[in-house]
Chain A
Amino acid sequence: GQNIDQPTEMTATEGAIVQINCTYQTSGFNGLFWYQQHAGEAPTFLSYNVLDGLEEKGRFSSFLSRSKGYSYLLLKELQMKDSASYLCAVVDSNYQLIWGAGTKLIIKP
């Protein structure tokens, strides 16, 4: 079967750095997305990785290792507004998005 694993919940301190991991086992791989979802709101696109390596976009970076079936989202200089759920999703060989259950990130002052 297809599976995406992410931690259920993480806590970090304002101003710090946090890394949210995602491991996947899917039938094929055509890319990996990270989305942010604030409570009661729509998921919004953060990043897309299809090649190995690190993609940096401001305070957020996303890393991919296809051989390990592993990605992480790195958030720097954490702000209170970064409190949200972070969803990992993999595009499989049928171009379907396989979703993780999301990681709820709690930022404390």
Chain B
Amino acid sequence: ETGVTQTPRHLVMGMTNKKSLKCEQHLGHNAMYWYKQSAKKPLELMFVYNFKEQTENNSVPSRFSPECPNSSHLFLHLHTLQPEDSALYLCASSTSDRDSNQPQHFGDGTRLSIL
């Protein structure tokens, strides 16, 4: 399924670098999500956007900065990251953040490694 596309697939960066993750969905959805996935841990919801408005920010450090210019695109800007931020970052979309019976559709993720 290529409904949700994430770039890059892999990213290695130093702690002082600035980089951005990109997500694009072609499903006509109105809600988009950023998750962090670490080995053997549950998915951690980071941010939620519904109709371009941020509706959730789950106590994420300010070194992660989301941007949602429209309902199809979502960015995660990274700055001064820490080694513990190394993880798989997943983007997802759904019809709305209030449609409890509609599944989220995920991208393949960006594997981030902080040196």
Contacts and interface: CB of A to CB of B under 8 A. Distances in A.
B106 A44 contact: yes
Interface residues of A, number: 25
A31 B100 CA distance: 7
A97 interface: yes
Interface in B70-103: 90, 97-98, 100-101, 103
Contacts of A4: 42
B100 A43 contact: no
A99 B1 contact: no
Q: Which bracket fits the contact residues of B?
A: 20 to 34
A44 B92 CA distance: 11
A95 B100 contact: yes
A98 B99 CA distance: 15
B104 interface: yes
A102 B43 CA distance: 9
A96 B103 contact: no
Interface of A: 4, 8, 30-31, 33, 35, 40-45, 48, 50, 87, 89, 91, 95-102
